[in-house]
Structure 1
Amino acid sequence: MERPQNYRFHNGHKAPLPFTADEYDTRLAGLRAAMDQAGVQAVVLTSMQNIAYYSGFLYCSFGRPYGLVVTPDTSVTISAGIDAGQPWRRCHGDNITFTDWGRDNFWLTVAGITGTGKHIGFEADHLTIERHAQMQAALNPAQLTDIAPATMRQRMLKSPAEIALIRAGAGVADVGGYAIRDAVRAGAREIDVAIAGRDAMELEISRRFPDAEYRDTWVWFQSGINTDGAHNPVTSRRLERGDILSLNTFPMISGYYTALERTMFVETVDDASLAIWQANVAAHEYGISLLKPGVSCAEVTAKINAFFAERDLLQYRTFGYGHSFGVLSHYYGREAGLELREDIDTVLRPGMVISMEPMLTIANGQPGAGGYREHDILVITEDGNENITGYPYGPDFNVVG
């Protein structure tokens, strides 16, 4: 039996994607404009975020390479045989399946689309050294250009359709927040509270998006000392009266991430903790007021730094004050050019979506020990911002149980 390097397995019918065909065509037109500007003849995208952004297909790697090849005339996703027809059903454009029979079949399939000796665009921040060498061997490019910065700049400016999906995600995050609030009580385990929030969000996503695939929605619910880091995993620690809590809900809708993060306390909050909490809430509100067109990320950061420094709290800050939203998760994706940090000079523009999330961490054993964080999602508008997070923040609502 002759076993091919690749084949087309267009099984069934195209499924509804997160966005319309016109939306994907507009995104591809933007990429092709960047290609023209750089003199690139074909682009080979390999990251989950870019393949999903330009085609709608969100792959599951399990150690295998995946790709989207874009030329002036075509866009083709390249997927592994283990996925059968699902990548074709869930992508905009063509799909080719590469086989496992030969070690380099993925790159040989890419070369069959791009040709060899061409000017190739690729994602330098995603390819491993090994796969970069495989790409060069298979494509023998005349020139290589890192296209990742151009794709990131395109992704930072959201279309109305993207903003609508992100707005829905923020609403789902609120649903998870309320489910968590209802589950909090002394004696409950972090894992049990997290499950309540995650289950509520997954059911809400399936209600709002009945044609979607459901994957990767999660909750980080932390208590006591476990609140000191923003990304600390859930444990089986039991909640105690007076514990500081960190509520973090993360619905994932077709690769699009949204979030709700809130400080909470079980039943009561002591005076030292209340003072830190109120200061962080004030910084959160001040930060939201700063988010408007024409202001740079570094300028916003400097002003919040000054706010904390005036209150002798800046030394407790742990990371940047916010980040972009879109095709990203804790597994993939990052629009590093749109983060509220000292070293980011990007100027805010209408259509950008960014969080405000100041966090202070007080070490264990000190008055007010724990991690304090509030997080809202803001859409930058023509004259300011729109807050699309609805769940309340602050002591009046979040001393619970």
Structure 2
Amino acid sequence: MNNIDKLKNFLKESKLDAILVSKNENLFYYAGFNEEGTYLLVTLDKSYLLVNSLVYSDAKNKCKNMEVILVSNYFETVNELLTSNGSNNIAFEKSLPYLGYERLKDATKVTLVPTYIDSIRMIKSSEEIKIIKKACRMADKCYKHILGYVKVGMSEKEIEKEMHRYLKELGASKEAFDFIVASGKRGALPHGRASNKKIKKGELVTLDFGCFYHSYCSDMTRTFALDKTNEKLVNIYNLVKEANELAISLVRPGIRVNYLHNEVSLFFKKHNMDQYFIHNLGHGLGLEVHEEPRISPSSETLLQEGMIITIEPGLYIEGLGGVRIEDVVLVTKDGREVLTKSSKELISVSK
């Protein structure tokens, strides 16, 4: 089943006549085209790509499985197409800007239904999996490179800059998000962006990074030490590593994602550390770095073969530091495959 057919099935199941796709990632997923000034209108029978004059020729060449229409007024064209198809309602993405919603409402005479279609992208095709594996290999190579590059006295921003450079050298199109480079006490910041702080001997350094490759992304976190670190941090590291391995061992089709999160929370609670585990265990990964399913205590989504998720337990102790270890995991028919291969042993870099 192709992606457009998945969307048409969604329309049938939801008793909808049409949907207007506007989100950049969903335009790419369903149309293979997401240049600025593009909308995709899908009815139960037909698909229309609505574009402006700047991208019309490109769209005609790339999108052979749908009708490409050059428009001057998007929403009037939507109304004309809905009328010709006898549509009584149209779904629109909740991410559609309010001004777009107002224009759609003013231009059409049908019922407007806000909807969310990102979850259709949860199960990856073999081609998507192949691309994400490549993006993960790039992240692994980058981590290995940085371990040979980093040294005492280097700033977090210097490390970040070298990561950017090396990933581009490997063929990445861009960074998947703003990298986290947090050393020493700054490791207690789950989203500690790289700063001018100089890295000191004996500190832990957490790197959370990823890249885009052919529109899909990787996302990996590793924590390493600069020379020998104190025993308390080593113990924290070992707990996080064990939690990461525990959660991964539980990944298989049919498991509710909140079970993964809650088992890690219970593990930390047994060690009187649960108060330092302050975020969700993970998330889906694909065209966006944060996708469905959310690996949270409240989500009851069932894991299915073909889903790609992250497992990223962490502990963050103000005034001391923190540790996070994140892997990308593919749900397979019988269990799981870890796509990020970098060692999770505590590596001490002596320079």
Give TM-score scaled by structure 2 length: 0.90
Q: Is the 8 A contact 1:58 1:255 kept in 2?
A: no
Match of 2:103 in 1: 134
Unaligned 5+ residue runs, structure 1? 1-24, 100-104, 207-213
- C-alpha displacement of 1:84: 6.8
**Distance (Å, rounded) in 1 between the aligned partners of 2:168 and 2:321:** 29
Partner-residue secondary structure (3-state), 1:339: strand
**Distance (Å, rounded) in 2 between the aligned partners of 1:215 and 1:81:** 28
1:323 to 283, 298, 304: 283
Match of 2:47 in 1: 75
Match of 2:170 in 1: 204
Post-superposition Cα deviations, 1:189-231, rounded to whole Å, max 9, x if no partner, equal 222211222222222236xxxxxxx344453322234333333
Residue 272 (1) aligns with residue 232 (2):
yes
Residue 28 (1) aligns with residue 4 (2):
yes
Residue 340 (1) aligns with residue 295 (2):
yes
Report the CA distance shift for 1:97/1:202 in structure 2 as closer, same or farther (over 3 A): farther
Match of 1:375 in 2: 326
Q: Is the 8 A contact 1:173 1:259 kept in 2?
A: yes
Q: Is the 8 A contact 2:182 2:192 kept in 1?
A: yes
Q: Is the 8 A contact 2:227 2:348 kept in 1?
A: no
Q: Is the 8 A contact 2:134 2:213 kept in 1?
A: no
1:188 to 137, 145, 154: 154
**Distance (Å, rounded) in 1 between the aligned partners of 2:128 and 2:39:** 23
Identity within the alignment, %:
23
Pairwise CA RMSD = 2.4
Mapping for residues 2-401 of structure 1, pairs under 5 Å: 26-59=2-35, 66-79=38-51, 85-86=57-58, 93-96=66-69, 98=71, 105-115=73-83, 118-124=88-94, 126-141=95-110, 143-148=111-116, 151-205=117-171, 214-217=173-176, 219-329=179-289, 334-335=291-292, 338-364=293-319, 369-395=320-346, 397-399=347-349, 401=351
- C-alpha displacement of 1:378: 1.0
**Distance (Å, rounded) in 1 between the aligned partners of 2:6 and 2:296:** 27
- Which region of structure 1 is more displaced relative to structure 2, 316-325 or 180-189? 180-189
Q: Is the 8 A contact 1:58 1:254 kept in 2?
A: no
Report the CA distance shift for 1:297/1:217 in structure 2 as closer, same or farther (over 3 A): closer
Q: Is the 8 A contact 2:147 2:349 kept in 1?
A: no
Q: Is the 8 A contact 1:169 1:253 kept in 2?
A: yes
Q: Is the 8 A contact 1:269 1:399 kept in 2?
A: no
- C-alpha displacement of 1:112: 4.2
**Distance (Å, rounded) in 2 between the aligned partners of 1:349 and 1:304:** 20
**Distance (Å, rounded) in 2 between the aligned partners of 1:398 and 1:318:** 26
- C-alpha displacement of 1:284: 0.8
Post-superposition Cα deviations, 1:279-328, rounded to whole Å, max 9, x if no partner, equal 11111111111111221112122211110000000000120111111111
Partner-residue secondary structure (3-state), 2:41: strand
- C-alpha displacement of 1:160: 1.3
**Distance (Å, rounded) in 1 between the aligned partners of 2:57 and 2:91:** 27
Give TM-score scaled by structure 1 length: 0.79
- C-alpha displacement of 1:390: 1.0
**Distance (Å, rounded) in 2 between the aligned partners of 1:172 and 1:136:** 45
**Distance (Å, rounded) in 2 between the aligned partners of 1:345 and 1:292:** 14
**Distance (Å, rounded) in 2 between the aligned partners of 1:45 and 1:91:** 15
**Distance (Å, rounded) in 2 between the aligned partners of 1:260 and 1:29:** 33
Q: Is the 8 A contact 1:68 1:78 kept in 2?
A: yes
- C-alpha displacement of 1:173: 1.1
Post-superposition Cα deviations, 1:337-382, rounded to whole Å, max 9, x if no partner, equal x122110011111111111110111002xxxx12210011111112
- C-alpha displacement of 1:176: 1.6
Letter in 1 for 2:8: R
The total of aligned residue pairs comes to: 347
- C-alpha displacement of 1:174: 0.8
